[in-house]
Structure formats: C-alpha cells, structure tokens
Amino acid sequence: MLKGRKGLIVGIANEHSIAYGCAVKLRAFGADIAITYLNEKAEPHVRPLAEALDADLIMKLDVSHPGDLETAFETIRRRWGRLDFLVHSIAFAPREDLHGRVIDVSAEGFAQAMHVSCWSFLRMAKLAETLMGEGGVLVTMSYYGADKVVGNYNVMGPVKAALEASVRYAANELGPKGIRVFAISPGPLKTRAASGIAQFDELIEMAKERAPAQRLVDIAEVGRVCAFLVGGASSGMTGDTLYVDGGLHNVA
C-alpha cells in the first residue's frame, strides 16, 4: 500500500512509544522510513528498533536545540530528495508546570511546552513543504484533553488544543499543494511520555471502565490509522482530528 513512500518519524523513545507503533505499521505496508532519537542517552534504546525496521536514516533530533530540525531535513533532502509523509509524536512540559494548575504555569514552562509540543510541528511542516512537491501527509498526536478538561492533564490541555488548531490552519494553507494534515487522538496509553502525568494509573483505569470498547487501545491500532491517513484511501480528508480511543471521547 505504501511501497516507495518515504517518511520521517519523530518521537520514538522505546518499543512502547506511539511513534514506534506507527513506524512498525508504516514499514509493514512498504514505506521507507527515517527515524530520529532525542540524544545520546536515548540512542541505545532507539537505534536497535530503527535497525530492526531497516530504517534508511537514523538521526539525532532535539527540537529544542537550534539547527537540529534544519539539519535533519537537509539530510533527508540529500538522501531522498523528497518526503512523502511525516509523523510528529513528541510532547513535553516541565514537571513542576505539568503538575500544577493551568493558571499557575510559568511563562518559561508554557513557552517550552508549546515549543516542543506544538511549534515544532509547524516548523516541521514548513521544512517538509519544500520536499513535498507532489503532495504529502503530515500527522501529529493529540489527546482528548485538548477538547475537554481531564484531571491532571493540566497545561498540556491548552497546548494540545493549540496543536489541533494548528492542524486545521496548516491543512488550509498547504491544501493547494496537495499536502494533507491530521491529528490522531489516542486514548491514554502507557508510554514514557504519559508517565509524567500525575495519577496516570487512575486515568488508565477510568478509560478502561468508561470506554465503550471496555479496554485501552494499543500502539498497533494507532499505527494502522496512521498508515490509513498516509495512504491513498484517505485522499478526500484533511484537517481532521481522528480519535483512536475505543469510543471514550463519545462518553459524557
């Protein structure tokens, strides 16, 4: 389904990462992939996964470090000459700001959370634009807390709301060039990033009890939806946030 497509996947920390679930499915459908790792500490956890998937490119990328994004996209330009899809699956907020009230968040913490979790997607979209001369697909990861108040999600709620709005605006701006933009909103998953949320185990249990499916989704299910969006079957869609949460978002 995706044979010959070339894409960048950002956000793999380990085998439990949502980005890894996407990478596995995209590769299984035939895509060529480039995978990034955050830093030298993360590399030993990511590189073996990338090598097992036969990734064409394995690169260091810290979106907080000036120049890293530009270097990564220039490497893609030199190696592939084009880009067909991008998966952005990174988010961060300083612990002290994440665990506090939204109205108490520091200016520095809010700016950092927005930079890593939202602005980096917009910057990647800008850099990908010139590599997607024949169109392409951009996908990022959101969460139900962007739309409704979720206990202990705190500052990440407004940040993810900004991310979903960015998806809609980017889809409008890039649509004439054949570039489609989406957010996927999985239910709560036991990832390294999610472990920073206070009382996360309680959130997991709540999701299991309330979701119509009576279970959590897994990263493979998110990966299959990502592959659908990247593939031609979704050609008539753009600007949407797609929920992959066992129906949880439909329950009051």
Catalytically active residues are 143, 153
Per residue in 29-39, is it b (16+ CB within 10 Å) or e — as a string?
bebbbbbbbbe
Q: Which two tokens stand for residue 16?
A: 């439990």
Count of CB atoms situated within 10 Å of the CB of 143: 29
Q: Which two tokens stand for residue 133?
A: 């001369």
Report d(CA 15, CA 31) in Å as an integer.
19
CA 202 to chain centre: 24
